[in-house]
């Protein structure tokens, strides 16, 4: 089988960067009152800027699929001839613009210069972008594609706007005592961002400049043993199961905020770091040709800097210490873009001029929805 390389990366971020002080002017105030938890959540998550595909009136400026198409165009400098060479489009997101048609084909619809090609749309949350990446990798590995594009994206701002979002975390004292309580609906309002990233993947590396060889991709889910933690268009019952939005009346959908994003904060705190990174230790021990000390850059997708020390601690306990100077993230400047975050990190690093031949880049993407994880190792060549 041939090698697989990331030969180009790109991104699209809508509109202007939005600071912490500007957030409520875009998302609105619930009950015409400023959020009591915003300051505490922002202090814990460490995010300073993010992007929204809405204006200050809450009107959409871009669809999810449109943002992805613009990221894809940036891969090719909007060259019609090269767009026509793409033979696979693999698009992951948590927030498609609609349930049908699929997200991928809607992106394809924004790219009329391409041919009639294979299009796939992995579902999920943060890992959906990595599953899109793995599908492209496997297609190239099998020789079923020559020039594949994979993407990760989100458009969450409309879901977080005050006209649709029910505030649940209001007790200041409880938030001060237990930061996990902020990881409810209101937490998500001050965390999530919009944007898209894209990779060009090929079986031949660049003749000029660097490429990223994909050494391996490993994915696993704990849904066989863990109940849902983060969910949308459903509600969680006492037994831990989810009740679908299809089983609620239109009135209940609105009154019970069924379509909002929710998170089980107890599960999040107990499981999100421990499950994935304990499994990662087993994975590393099984790879005889992988030495954690050879990692040059570690790119962990984090929803919040609140988890940074927790990840570092569990890696240290496992004997897999990665010095903080090797960590690379742009969470502070871009916010949590879900399935798009890892693409935006790789894109920034790839185009930074920092990479040298032989550097090893480790990607880590946890997903709290029902505890899924994807890890991947890249080598600069």
Asked if the domains at 5-202 and 212-221+264-380 fall in one CATH topology, the answer is yes
pLDDT of residue 6: 98
Which secondary structure element, helix H or strand E, spans residue 69, and what is its range? helix 64-75
Average pLDDT for residues 326-341, to the nearest whole number? 97
Fold of 5-202: Peroxisomal Thiolase; Chain A, domain 1 (3.40.47)
Q: Given CATH 3.40.47.10, say whether it is the number of domain 212-221+264-380.
A: yes
Q: Which of 186-190, 247-251, 283-287 is predicted with the least confidence, judged by mean pLDDT? A: 186-190
pTM of the model: 0.94
pLDDT of residue 265: 78
What are the residue boundaries of the structural domains of the chain, listed by start?
5-202, 212-221+264-380, 230-263
Task: Give the whole-angstrom CA distance, residue 15 versus residue 140.
Answer: 34
pLDDT of residue 170: 47
pLDDT of residue 159: 87
Task: Give the whole-angstrom CA distance, residue 307 versus residue 317.
Answer: 15
Q: In what order do the strands lie in the sheet with 147-154?
A: 118-120, 88-93, 147-154, 195-202, 5-12, 212-221, 372-380, 360-367, 297-300
| pLDDT, averaged across the chain | 92
pLDDT of residue 178: 55
Question: Would the pLDDT of 146 be above 90?
Answer: yes
pLDDT of residue 94: 97
> 54 — phi, psi (to 5°)?
-140, 160
pLDDT of residue 1: 85
Which secondary structure element, helix H or strand E, spans residue 275, and what is its range? helix 265-286
Task: Give the whole-angstrom CA distance, residue 152 versus residue 127.
Answer: 9
Between residues 266 and 226, the one the model is more confident about: 226
> 326 — phi, psi (to 5°)?
-90, -10
pLDDT (tens digit per residue) in 164-200: 754 444 444 554 555 544 445 566 788 899 999 999 9
pLDDT (tens digit per residue) in 57-105: 999 999 999 999 999 999 999 999 999 999 999 999 999 999 999 999 9
């Amino acid at each position: 089988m041939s090698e697989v390389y990331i030969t180009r990366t790109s991104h699209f971020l809508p509109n202007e960067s939005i600071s912490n002080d500007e957030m409520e002017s875009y998302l609105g105030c619930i009950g015409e009152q400023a959020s009591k938890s915003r300051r505490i959540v922002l202090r814990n998550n460490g995010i300073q800027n993010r992007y929204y595909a809405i204006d200050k009136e809450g009107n959409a400026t871009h669809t999810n699929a449109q943002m992805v198409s613009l990221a894809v165009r940036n891969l090719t400098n909007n060259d019609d001839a090269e767009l026509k060479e793409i033979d696979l489009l693999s698009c992951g997101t948590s927030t498609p613009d609609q349930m049908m048609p699929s997200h991928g084909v809607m992106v394809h619809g924004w790219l009329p210069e391409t041919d009639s090609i294979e299009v796939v749309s992995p579902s999920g949350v943060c890992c959906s972008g990595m599953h899109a990446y793995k599908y492209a990798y496997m297609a190239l590995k099998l020789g079923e594609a020559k020039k594949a594009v994979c993407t990760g994206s989100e458009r969450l701002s409309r879901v977080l706007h005050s006209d649709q979002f029910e505030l649940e975390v209001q007790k200041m004292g409880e938030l001060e005592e237990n930061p996990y309580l902020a990881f409810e609906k209101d937490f998500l309002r001050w965390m999530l961002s919009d944007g898209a990233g894209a990779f060009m993947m090929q079986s031949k590396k660049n003749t000029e400049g660097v490429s990223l060889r994909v050494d391996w991709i490993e994915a696993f889910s704990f849904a066989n043993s863990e109940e849902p933690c983060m969910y949308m268009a459903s509600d969680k019952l006492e037994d831990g199961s989810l009740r679908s939005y299809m089983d609620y009346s239109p009135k209940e959908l609105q009154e019970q905020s069924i379509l909002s994003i929710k998170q089980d904060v107890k599960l999040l705190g107990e499981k999100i770091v421990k499950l994935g990174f304990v499994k990662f230790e087993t994975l590393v021990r099984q790879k005889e040709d992988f030495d954690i000390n050879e990692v040059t850059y570690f790119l962990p997708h984090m929803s919040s800097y609140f988890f940074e020390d927790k990840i570092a601690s569990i890696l240290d306990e496992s004997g897999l210490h990665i010095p903080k100077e090797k960590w690379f993230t742009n969470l502070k400047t871009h916010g949590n873009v879900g399935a798009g975050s890892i693409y935006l990190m790789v894109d920034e690093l790839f185009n930074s001029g920092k990479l040298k031949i032989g550097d090893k880049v480790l990607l880590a993407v946890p997903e709290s929805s029902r505890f899924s994880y994807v890890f991947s190792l890249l080598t600069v060549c």
